[in-house]
Amino acid sequence: MRRVAFALLLACGAGSLLFDLTLSSRLPRESDWAELAGALRSEARPGDLAQLWPVWAEEARLHIDSMPVLAEEDLVHADYLGFKRLWVVSLPHFGNPEKGLQERGATPAAPARRFGALQLQAWDLHAPEISPLTTQDAEHEVDYVARRCAQVRIEPRMEYFDSDAQPPMMKP
């Protein structure tokens, strides 16, 4: 029984060591993030959005400065209102977001590109145009006029009694 327990302990230790030694090949380096951010800067257009996958890859927010960055877990029901193209920044070793995006009707706009451990792919969301709520003429229909505030005196509502430590009484 002790030999089996010792063998299991050795196997766990060897597995942990193997995991730690291969972790650097599965996680992005600083240069990978820099290359990806440069690619996004060069191809960014109005109406673009970056989506992180998996959602815990928050380090991307430190590097992507050319567009808004979201980390939505549910890609099928995610709110991408006002965005036409979605750039998926993913770590392919930790899952694939394609199924959720295809389920919502998105199609790949370009083939996926690799930057070390990172993958970048543009998706067309096929989003309808958002109609403006007001016209150019109606935007200035209501103007703000500054007015002075009237000062109102507020009467105290509590009466305190000093004798016999009675609780405060409300005025009617």
Q: Give the number of domains in the chain.
A: 1
Question: In whole angstroms, how large is the CA radius of gyration of the chain?
Answer: 29
β-pair partners for 131: none
Residue 36 lies in a domain: yes
Please provide the average confidence, as pLDDT, over all residues in the chain: 84
User: Is the full-model pTM beyond 0.75?
Assistant: no
Expressed as residue numbers, the domain containing 69 is 22-124
Looking at residue 139, the DSSP 8-state letter turns out to be: G
pLDDT computed for residue 79 by the predictor: 86
Residue 2 lies in a domain: no
Greater confidence (157 vs 41) lies with 41
Query: Is 53 within 8 Å of 95 (Cβ atoms)?
Result: yes
- What pLDDT band is residue 119 in, cutting at 50, 70 and 90? very high
Residue 161 lies in a domain: no
Residue 99 lies in a domain: yes
Residue 170 lies in a domain: no
